[in-house]
Amino acid sequence: MDKKINLSESQMPTHWYNLMADLPKPMQPALHPGTKQPLGPSDLAPLFPMSLIEQEVSTQRWIEIPEAVQKVYRIWRPTPLIRATGLEAALETPAEIWFKWEGVSPAGSHKPNTAVPQAYYNAKEGIRRITTETGAGQWGCSMAYASAQFGLSCTVYMVKVSYNQKPYRAAMMRAYGAECIPSPSDRTASGRAALEADPDTNGSLGNAISEAVEDALNDPTAHYALGSVLNHVLIHQSVVGLEARKQFEIAGRWPDVLVGCCGGGSNFAGFTFPFLPEKLDGSKKIRLVGVEPAACPTLTRGKMAYDFGDTAGFTPLMRMYTLGSHFMPPGFHAGGLRYHGMAPMVSAAVEQGLAEAIAVPQLETFAAGLLFAKVEGIMPAPESCHALRAAIMEAERCKREGKKEVIAFNLTGHGHMDMSAYNAYLDGKLSNNHYDEAALVESLKHLPEVK
Amino acid sequence: MDKKINLSESQMPTHWYNLMADLPKPMQPALHPGTKQPLGPSDLAPLFPMSLIEQEVSTQRWIEIPEAVQKVYRIWRPTPLIRATGLEAALETPAEIWFKWEGVSPAGSHKPNTAVPQAYYNAKEGIRRITTETGAGQWGCSMAYASAQFGLSCTVYMVKVSYNQKPYRAAMMRAYGAECIPSPSDRTASGRAALEADPDTNGSLGNAISEAVEDALNDPTAHYALGSVLNHVLIHQSVVGLEARKQFEIAGRWPDVLVGCCGGGSNFAGFTFPFLPEKLDGSKKIRLVGVEPAACPTLTRGKMAYDFGDTAGFTPLMRMYTLGSHFMPPGFHAGGLRYHGMAPMVSAAVEQGLAEAIAVPQLETFAAGLLFAKVEGIMPAPESCHALRAAIMEAERCKREGKKEVIAFNLTGHGHMDMSAYNAYLDGKLSNNHYDEAALVESLKHLPEVK
């Protein structure tokens, strides 16, 4: 059998899959942060185009992928499904290990899967500029790339400490024609306030979100874009799992376990949810495993409750697993997984028993990444190393139990711009930073009250 | 038609193509640097395995690709042939522009195509360690990766200025398990001599070659590996062109012009030479265009003559286009193209009228790279931008002449680790550094005398 299962462009999905159509119990609506009443479309209109607001609340199972979006997807999609034969051999496992390789996209991760439709819908509704924030820089690069495809300007507020630590990411956004601004900046009132409070601040994702939202609200030709958490983002990412389904069909396999890392939840949802209909109707068995960093254990230690998406409390209240919007996880290198909440749709899937979650410590994720680089060649992003680590744990379990299961994980991106993190690991400078247990207990006591 | 032409693994070439079988006039042999007599296999045996020495002088048209090498190739090969529809639209050209995308390899360029067989043959003949040098780092990463595939240790001498400027490249070699040493180092006599002469030296490729060769000669379990110039390297790279031929057949096209950048010459040869048999027997027309930096114009301003491959005069004398082994080109960002000589096989193809050459200045190559990133997504390596720039010039010519030609170029690698160069360009800090005309004239007067 081939090592890689490739699809032709004619086999690409023409529709995205929306789990909201199939969830046994419907999701609770998002609430207005002030009134705490269910959010209406008009509440979101200053920030998002109507097509995305409709997708946000849609219970349609299939949502058509516009032809213009498919055309851009074809630049790198379909992505290959690859059998990690080298890893199987290294682990001496009877299991098969497969991975969906999303790092082949221009920006190097799965993020363009939603950046492209977001840019498209905004351009179609007459918007001229996108504002967004970025932490590690993967999302900023993706939105910069997607904006260029549809002639939009793009302004990215990048957390200042990342801006300084990852100059290549900022350079890539710039090369795609976007403006990348270290946050906090003097461009916005919230930025100026943060700088006044502490001129030497490192910045935070919460503050960068505030700046991007404020910038969009002050410019009628601009909209804001978010790279995870929201329903429409998860829906767009379903293109990953839909392709993987077809590829497993070609390989004559049905996976036993699907693994994805969980930060906001979009890659995990996109990769795994398209396999749920058969689990829901009982015709097939499949396990969905979400993997989070032990230092930020939203699904495994958080509470299912209404909470804000940001630190300042500007965003709607969403019902989700959360560590509390003021909870401050310790620093670690998988910046894309350092978020206090979890996508409401992923939270619902876990609450309803469709998916499970585990947390893994940082050091073993880097060890997994280095093993993978040696035996499969690809240098995975630190976030992707979490999924990889959990896939290895499943393969080790299969070895102990003598089971020939089919394990698949989503390899969300390459680590070409994260080599300093690998260097730090090899230099013995990393540890399994633990969060502050007392602070977490305290944080969970003070979630917003909602009747 | 699909944007990308993918081959299945069963369509991968099983043999490499060797132009030496088809060259109208045979190539002149390499000469011993001391005796200036034709080189025998025993002269090379301390550095290279016998299988590679045989390939070096082979006139067989087809050389079998070992199954173990094919197995590793399958990690990323076959690579896609992609139609640059976005670039065509941006240029408003009637021509078709296609590119072979070699940046999908683990190390991010075409270099593993030869690193893998070199590691394989060395391992097979009992060698335990590979020594090599690297300038910009692409080759060092590739050899580090390939060594890991066959259980070999790998020592890379990296030019010190690059080691300091490109820490991500050094980190990648380290992640693959190689030792990457800034050169000159105190590991070798030639390194110590260089350090004694100037403790603050930036190092040079010539010195790094000397260190790697010396290291291999002093260890009977070690061999040396080279990433371009030599015949066996060019032969291995033919896998690129052989795949492209099949892909063009599937697309129902025969290209009018093939373009590749030229440093040592291996990617250009690998991409274009497999299309030569039809040109040689007169059954089809095709133009082969080698593109070099205007600041280091080996093919367009050099002399066809016997010269050394290195500065110190340790290597055999090869008959090739050369600027003189002491010629010092100005600094520029396509480090992989900064070499005084050109592969003897490429030199022979140009001398015999099978290929042509042009030189392009630095600034327009970066402009081309940024245009390409915006319309096609991929961020090309500075070296690859030279081929891209020439392909654009061909497409512009087609527009002027109203011709629907099929243009194809080899996109040899991504620029993820070269973003500081793009930043420098966007900051207006780059120029079209010109070489010293008087120094070149002088250098060409003092090539080694060979009777």
Q: How far apart are CA B105 and CA B28, in angstroms?
A: 34
Interchain CB contact of A218 with B (< 8 Å) = no
Q: How far apart are CA A240 and CA A16, in angstroms?
A: 10
Half-sphere exposure of A48 (CA within 13 A, CB side): 22
Nearest chain A residue to B423, by CA: A171
The reply to whether residue A419 touches residue B167, judged by beta carbons under 8 angstroms, is: yes
Q: Which residues pair with B309 in a beta bridge?
A: none
| Mean per-residue pLDDT over chain B, rounded | 95
A421: three-class secondary structure by DSSP: helix
Q: Of B76, B173, B430, which to mutate for an interface test with A (greatest number of A Cβ within 10 Å)?
A: B76
Within 8 A by CB and 6+ apart from A226, the residues are A132, A233
Give the distance from residue A43's alpha carbon to the nearest chain B alpha carbon, in angstroms. 34
Q: Is the dihedral of CA A219, A223, A228, A230 positive or negative?
A: positive
Give the distance from residue B6's alpha carbon to the nearest chain A alpha carbon, in angstroms. 8
Residue A328 pLDDT more than 90?
Answer: no
Q: Residue A207 — very low, low, confident or very high, per pLDDT cuts 50/70/90? A: confident
Give the distance from residue B103's alpha carbon to the nearest chain A alpha carbon, in angstroms. 9
Instruction: Enter the DSSP assignment of A360.
Output: E
Interchain CB contact of A151 with B (< 8 Å) = no
Which residues of chain B neighbour A168 with C-beta distances below 8 Å?
A: 168, 416-417, 419-420
A290-322 confidence digits (pLDDT tens): 999 999 999 999 999 999 988 778 889 999 999
Distances (CA, A) of B71 to A96, B108, B139: 17, 18, 21
Which residues of chain A neighbour B176 with C-beta distances below 8 Å?
A: 373-374
Within 8 A by CB and 6+ apart from A40, the residues are none
For B280, the token pair is: 């040689």
For A147, the token pair is: 């904006």
For A104, the token pair is: 């082949």
For B382, the token pair is: 């500075």
Which residues of chain A neighbour B76 with C-beta distances below 8 Å?
A: 377
Which residues of chain A neighbour B375 with C-beta distances below 8 Å?
A: 148
pLDDT value at residue B78: 96
> Regarding beta strands A81-83 and A96-101, do their DSSP bridges make them parallel or antiparallel, or are they unpaired?
antiparallel
Q: How far apart are CA A21 and CA A147, in angstroms?
A: 30
Which residues of chain B neighbour A86 with C-beta distances below 8 Å?
A: 75
Question: In B320-381, which ranges are continuous DSSP H helix?
Answer: 344-351, 362-376
Question: In B252-275, which ranges are continuous DSSP H helix?
Answer: 266-272
ipTM of this predicted complex? 0.93
Q: Which domains does chain B have, with CATH numbers?
A: 67-108+234-445 (3.40.50.1100)
In order along its 451 residues, chain B shows pLDDT tens digits of 789 999 999 999 999 999 999 999 999 999 999 999 999 989 999 999 999 999 999 999 999 999 999 999 999 999 999 999 999 999 999 999 999 999 999 999 999 999 999 999 999 999 999 999 998 899 999 999 999 999 999 999 999 988 988 889 999 999 999 999 999 999 999 999 999 999 998 888 888 988 999 999 999 999 999 999 999 999 999 999 999 999 999 999 999 999 999 999 999 999 999 999 999 999 999 999 999 999 999 999 999 999 998 877 888 999 999 999 888 888 888 888 888 999 999 999 999 999 999 999 999 999 999 999 999 999 999 999 999 999 999 999 999 999 999 999 999 999 999 998 999 999 999 999 899 999 999 999 999 998 7
Q: How far apart are CA B270 and CA B268, in angstroms?
A: 6
Give the residue from A384, A412, A418 showing the smallest Cα distance to A101: A412
Helices then strands, counting H and E runs in chain A, come out as 19, 15
The H-or-E segment that residue A236 falls in is helix A231-250
Give the residue from B208, B298, B239 showing the smallest Cα distance to B111: B239
Which residues of chain A neighbour B80 with C-beta distances below 8 Å?
A: none
For A344, the token pair is: 């409401």
Between B2, B175, B379, which is nearest A373 by CB?
Answer: B175
Distances (CA, A) of A274 to A20, A234, A236: 11, 11, 12
Whole-model pTM? Answer: 0.95
A86-113 confidence digits (pLDDT tens): 999 999 999 999 999 999 999 999 999 9
The reply to whether residue B177 touches residue A374, judged by beta carbons under 8 angstroms, is: yes
**Given 3-state DSSP classes, what are the helix, strand and coil percentages for chain B, each rounded to the nearest 5?**
45, 20, 40
| Mean per-residue pLDDT over chain A, rounded | 95
